[in-house]
Structure 1
Amino acid sequence: MNPQCARCNLVVYPTEKVNCLDKYWHKGCFSCESCKMTLNMKNYKGFEKRPYCNAHYPKTNFTCVADTPENLRLKQQSKMQSTVLYKEDFEKNKGKGFSAVADTPEMQRIKKTQNQISNIKYHEEFEKRKQGGEPTLQQKPPSPVPYQAPEPAAAAPPPSTGKRFKAVYDYAAADEDEVSFLDGDVIADVQQIDEGWMYGRVERTGLAGMLPANYVEAM
């Protein structure tokens, strides 16, 4: 039984039959879908099982890649590599903080706000300490002047001169020949040993010894 023409649907006899694009055509019906120019097996171009001339062949733009087994395998492989690289980078930078955060306008605004909050809290804490009588940085006691040991002949303190001093800071003795006292204690029988140290007796405890001169003031 003779087949039908894909163009005109009439019977195609063997003498005029063209077998192309999985269809049968009359030689005169095998023409371009756009301009109807008669084609042959050498100059036709097929698209979706339809013949076209070279000038009217549809220009196709492939916007997506077909999900063939090979493409799916490559996609999965790329995803696995990205996951591995992310984990390696995370482990490498773990514990180092966020030092590489982009310095965007939003991050700059957040950083500025945090600095302002820190400054406000610092000043509030400073005022609380000042009002509560706690020592501030300027009120901390000075460091004692290093003591230069006197000659053995001058080890004994000179006779009492009767001078009295008042402690302005707490002091804890750092050696056996020193004396401890508290802020406000009265130091009696004070004698100057050198520029940085004195000898005296704490009236509250009755103990006597050397003390730093910059921790007391004359009464």
Structure 2
Amino acid sequence: MNPPCGRCNKPVYPTEKLNCLDKYWHKGCFSCEVCKMALSMNNYKGFDKKPYCTMHYPKTSFTIVADTPENLRLKQQSMLNSQALYKEDFEKNKGKGFSVVADTPEMQRLKKTQDQISNIKYHEEFEKSKVRSDAPPPENRQDSSDPDSHAPAAPPGGRKRFQAMYSYVGADSDEVSLQEGDILLDVEPIDEGWVFGVNQRTGQRGMLPANYIRPL
């Protein structure tokens, strides 16, 4: 069924059909609402779903734009871009003063997320430093009355059982982490200050500091 013309309401056939302003028009009916000048797709101006020529286009202080899906998408994209620019500007100017910016719900959510991430990282670093601090530095553990106290203690040769005296967090993937009291199996010296062994509790195999363990 052929749709009616937006001007004369008569059927519009495919050979003479124009689709514009959410209506169908005869080519001859597509004219200015005021002066009736014939218009084309290149020179018309739409207002309230009616065509006008440039001369008679209604003068308004603002243009009403329908909230179409495309306009809503552009509006949302513009908002996201503004937030991204704000964050980038904030990072660049951190410590150089500040600009007053509206505290929107979205910015509050971003700020809360960043604070949570910062707190998690702080607690992770704190726990790592706490474990390392449980073991006093080797130079502070030596008995000053012993003339050989400054020489690192290496376990006897052969494979024996040892026990961890202090906690230790392996700095590399080939190092074994320890907790005070852990039992070490198949311990054998590697070089001055380091041995190779297996942590019975975790099953981890690798290098560990010789002055953190003692023979059983």
* TM score, norm. by length of structure 1: 0.31
* TM score, norm. by length of structure 2: 0.31
